[in-house]
Structure 1
């Protein structure tokens, strides 16, 4: 192979290694074993055998041999039948003894075929091999005259019989009563295991039946000479062994998370309608358009390179030397040794509030040297084949339902053009630009098919975008400690608000795992009322009340038009509509192999009673910060308190959205109390007095919590009324004010949480069984709750120590995920997680 083809094959193997379900299949003779005169002497290469075994044992990975040998012979020769799927007789034999099921007529035909072939070939030096479905005549040791005579007799005799099929291979002619071939076998095997991609290695013409079936992300390799449909060619089984060993290593690394980009070191871009995720190398690895909960056009974060990305980098592949946001803004700069890439989403004018507006993501390359650009959009999470059309100033996607174009401009672009590269049914566009000519501006436009030049200079748009964010971040009342980190946390929360509606989403991503390789993967691209209210309250405490005001306006539209307010869902689309049913994107492998990748969220069908308390706590905070409450605000407060009165005695699914039978969670009951308590405070300011029924209700809920939530046996408040298991949510009893901070029961609960749930500087929500496989890990919001509880109980030094650890887990550009595995110090969960940033802000303010 040439060095270029070796590089291409390496890229192909890396793509295969990140497929959700991988099938690796090969012939035996001539691929993993050498071709020899006597097939009984063919021994599989030890390295190939070991690699196939490793692949066969790996999760979501299957290995198979599809050979012309009989199944029994293949099993004896390979010794791999315990781990690798074996299929014999060119795809006819999936099970030993399958010919027992032949009807009498076909069995008679098979026996006659065997007898006649033996008779014809008896006078040659060839070897006749009887097989379950026919016979093979091996010609390796037959002289030319004998070969010609035997082949002529077979051609005029058994090969003419009805029901007999012929296959030719390396010095072998096979006659069989079955019409199946290796292609049929590979397709059947693909369907059985649900493979999303296949690697097939063959060396013979009979292997072409399998190679021609390959499509999409599949890869075919031909060993030796001959016309072939394979994508790559190697010379010998020795090269096959190296390929299988490399693929085994790549697959293992991918499944175990080796080489994964740490989640906390990613960054986001936002125009308050959608958002992109940029990895530490400056690749855009996640973008949904036209809305934050739409299908992704770049999903490499969850599906590897095959799922689409937008990359810019040096030709030599050197890494960036720095990546940072421009102070106070959402403009991201990634510096390479010779040039800088500046990324932002245009929010000039009133774009952030335009419901049906266009999203423009701009990438400006400035500096010296050359830069490689690769633009690889993949429609709808890669489920729709993506074909591109290039023009002198851009790239279009053919037949896209939602228009998406890439516009190219700047002095550095002049004279350059795109090269299209095919990856199965998809295309990518590549270009190399010389920056000595000047800067290059790449503008990804969603919502338009126009490649006309923009009427305003890029610099003006960038300046307006910078001003948009600094106008929101400069007035913030920041604590002296961790000042810039808190500013970044606040900007991140502001970026999560949906400009056209005021809803605030929990995250910009879906299915980043809470457990690497597990199923704890959730779609958080929606407005969870609890998270949104908590986030807006954190911003209000920093002096920015407009986010909370806009969220309340959105809530009023969602709630006040619904007569069933007491049946408020915990999560909505940013438009205020209910979520679609939870579904899975089977074609995406997941971050670190964590599947399934989900869209939608079943939590919208749950009961989560704590959200009422969070909303009314937000209203009270806005009032305390000087926001004038309107009559509509008061009607909202009334409706929510009445809803609590109707529902507080019900069990629910709790703050952690446990997918089991609902329980009477202490955290939920406390937040019902908090809703009524904050409603009373608001009523006294808005109406001079609170209804007596509210006062009585507050007392009743508090008495219920104290009577049923406290466990004398374990000396702490528990997770729920019906058990003794501990949950960090029990801290809400003191954090909410239901009992005083100096109440011994609160101090005892803080001790219990610290003793049982604090590990490695992070707090686990609980250690009880939540019905899902895989381990739980520490949750940043839970850690924030313990920090606040330690402060309330006078343990300031412990709180500062724990806050320092939490701060160390903030990424290089200010991102906090949802969780952390303290044993491996690995960030987990969706990014950025709104409630993590909100809790972090509260901690910094309370420490001050």
Structure 2
């Protein structure tokens, strides 16, 4: 059974795919060539599903960090006789244009280990298991490495150490003295492509240098945020960029599947897809943490992926990173799951749900990025205008809500508010969308939504806005009401809602639950990182900056040693839970820090 804590992982990304590296130098997750491709290594979900470790043979102490302004990871192992540094990266390829980070990515994982003090014996253990561990490939020696045959791709490991092949793995041990370095590369190619071949140590060194240069060029050109929590915000911007799929502009919710919301539970979902909501919020956060010059690709992707969209029919809420519509869920019973959390799933049946908040998410991002909408073509203008028409047409329907509750549709307050956002932003953008004639109709629908939410979304019993119309159940999603401008944060009803959520939805760890109402699924879940940042953001907007900072700092204190956050936090142990790293969590961090900065700059400090 795999027992690696979720917080022990660090992410590598080439903006095509991602790898997760544990603190002990083991790659426990790698999909090629896309985020949602079958895995090459999946020890994260089952010990026998593939891994690749490089670490000292003797007992060691570990520290690690991302190299400055990059997603290149360095792990420092200190032993009784010396110290070695392991450097890991997904090669981005060399491209002189910093706006095209990852455009030339060669689907290659780079690893180098250098002895920096004394001497150390290093062990290498390589166990590829393509297709989520279903395939045990045939390993064979080649000049300067190991070739793996089996499954849907060609995998070549370039190794300066002659590894011994023992059935289903390649292993080796090498003694290093101070100054000596070993360079490895794992290259992947589809069966219909040429064999990727061996990479020389010099080529691997050049690939790593090009990757460092590309990330630093991107960070230098894009990252201008100068407010509080600067390092956290800029790092989150890089994480969000690392979750984007360069070829299409899609953005995944997380690079993993089936990391659970409760250890041993069954709330295990595949997040390696582009949710309209999550991706739109990511573009919104990149407006703060980094110049979102990928906005053109993003809106083009959404327009193309939703090409069959009709205003009378609900927009599909998520797509594959290549624009695929059918994301049918299936279970992988041969995998035991992280800490026996079953089932392990690929695909996600939420793609079938109606979630009418997505119109507001997309048009909200368009509103934030309005200055960049000069490039959109007639199809994209028509698509955005149709979203507003859909919000006007569908806002009164029940849906499954932001949390994708797998029960009967309801009239969720958040969904209604986001339909209001869709219409409000469309009205602002009407001239740019060539839709001025639709404004009176949009204004009428927007006003109807506002009246309905204020009338039916408020509960006298709860003393707050609640999860659904005529319900007394609290839901943290209504914290978005002041964030999107539906009500001022200092409106008495909003202040009462903020206080109710802070008091009744906050766990012992100071973080916020999404809700506590029965959602029809077995098991429980942890406190939700995004919701905690929403609370901090709402408090900042209300001028309660001291409280906002307390909530914010409670959340960021639970980032792992390399600044990454999962979806949830166990309220008792403080352990990270859920798919990792989670875009939502880093989006929340960026926006809450920005709101705190804004409140401080404007002197809106009440407490």
TM-score (norm 1): 0.66
Structure 1 partner of 2:93: 348
Structure 1 partner of 2:552: 803
Q: Contact between 2:124 and 2:173, CA under 8 Å: does it hold in 1?
A: yes
The one-character-per-residue Cα deviations of 1:637-682 (angstroms, maximum 9, x if unpaired) are 2111111122111111111110101101000000000000011111
Alignment partner of 1:361 is 2:105: no
Q: Secondary structure of the equivalent of 1:390? A: strand
Alignment partner of 1:698 is 2:446: yes
1:825-836 equivalences under 5 Å are: 825-836=574-585
Q: 1:648 aligns with which of 392, 395, 403?
A: 395
Q: Secondary structure of the equivalent of 2:244? A: coil
Structure 2 partner of 1:665: 412
**How far apart are residue 635 of structure 1 and its match?**
1.8
Structure 2 partner of 1:788: 537
**How far apart are residue 458 of structure 1 and its match?**
2.8
**How far apart are residue 838 of structure 1 and its match?**
0.5
Alignment partner of 1:473 is 2:216: no
User: 1:635, 1:371 → 2: CA distance?
Assistant: 59
Structure 2 partner of 1:312: 54
The 1:557–1:464 alpha-carbon spacing in structure 2 relative to 1, beyond 3 Å, is same
1:96-245 equivalences under 5 Å are: none
Mark the runs of 5 or more structure 1 residues left unpaired by the alignment. Answer: 1-17, 19-253, 255-259
Alignment partner of 1:592 is 2:343: no
Q: Secondary structure of the equivalent of 1:762? A: coil
Q: Contact between 1:717 and 1:730, CA under 8 Å: does it hold in 2?
A: yes
1:584-733 equivalences under 5 Å are: 584-624=331-371, 629-684=376-431, 689=436, 691-733=439-481
Structure 1 partner of 2:182: 440
Alignment partner of 1:740 is 2:488: yes
1:276-355 equivalences under 5 Å are: 276-304=19-47, 306-320=48-62, 322-337=63-78, 338-349=83-94
Q: 1:498 aligns with which of 245, 256, 267?
A: 245
The farther-off stretch of 384-393 and 692-701 is: 384-393
**How far apart are residue 483 of structure 1 and its match?**
1.3
User: 2:56, 2:496 → 1: CA distance?
Assistant: 57
1:396-407 equivalences under 5 Å are: 396-407=147-158
The alignment yields a C-alpha RMSD, in angstroms, of 2.1
The 1:395–1:319 alpha-carbon spacing in structure 2 relative to 1, beyond 3 Å, is farther
TM-score (norm 2): 0.91
Q: 1:375 aligns with which of 120, 126, 130?
A: 126
Q: Contact between 2:92 and 2:106, CA under 8 Å: does it hold in 1?
A: no
User: 1:734, 1:491 → 2: CA distance?
Assistant: 27
| Structure richer in helix, relative to its length | 1
User: 1:451, 1:435 → 2: CA distance?
Assistant: 26
Q: Secondary structure of the equivalent of 1:280? A: coil
The farther-off stretch of 371-380 and 477-486 is: 477-486
Q: Secondary structure of the equivalent of 2:12? A: strand
**How far apart are residue 545 of structure 1 and its match?**
1.7
Q: 2:314 aligns with which of 559, 567, 577?
A: 567
Q: Secondary structure of the equivalent of 1:531? A: helix
**How far apart are residue 449 of structure 1 and its match?**
2.9
**How far apart are residue 788 of structure 1 and its match?**
1.3
**How far apart are residue 755 of structure 1 and its match?**
1.4
The 1:479–1:845 alpha-carbon spacing in structure 2 relative to 1, beyond 3 Å, is farther
Q: Secondary structure of the equivalent of 1:589? A: coil
Q: Contact between 1:498 and 1:574, CA under 8 Å: does it hold in 2?
A: yes
The 1:637–1:626 alpha-carbon spacing in structure 2 relative to 1, beyond 3 Å, is closer
**How far apart are residue 262 of structure 1 and its match?**
2.9
Q: Secondary structure of the equivalent of 1:369? A: strand
The 1:516–1:820 alpha-carbon spacing in structure 2 relative to 1, beyond 3 Å, is same
Equivalent pairs counted in the alignment come to 578
User: 1:339, 1:500 → 2: CA distance?
Assistant: 36
The 1:643–1:676 alpha-carbon spacing in structure 2 relative to 1, beyond 3 Å, is same
User: 2:338, 2:123 → 1: CA distance?
Assistant: 25
Q: Secondary structure of the equivalent of 2:131? A: helix
Q: Contact between 1:816 and 1:833, CA under 8 Å: does it hold in 2?
A: yes
The one-character-per-residue Cα deviations of 1:96-116 (angstroms, maximum 9, x if unpaired) are xxxxxxxxxxxxxxxxxxxxx
Q: Contact between 1:548 and 1:618, CA under 8 Å: does it hold in 2?
A: no
Structure 2 partner of 1:4: none
Q: Secondary structure of the equivalent of 1:417? A: coil
Q: Contact between 1:584 and 1:598, CA under 8 Å: does it hold in 2?
A: yes
Q: Secondary structure of the equivalent of 1:546? A: coil
**How far apart are residue 268 of structure 1 and its match?**
0.7
User: 1:669, 1:330 → 2: CA distance?
Assistant: 38
Structure 2 partner of 1:431: 172
User: 1:450, 1:299 → 2: CA distance?
Assistant: 22
The farther-off stretch of 285-294 and 343-352 is: 343-352
Q: Contact between 2:316 and 2:352, CA under 8 Å: does it hold in 1?
A: yes
The 1:564–1:434 alpha-carbon spacing in structure 2 relative to 1, beyond 3 Å, is farther
Structure 2 partner of 1:80: none
The one-character-per-residue Cα deviations of 1:315-365 (angstroms, maximum 9, x if unpaired) are 124242x2111110111111112211111111123596659x740111111
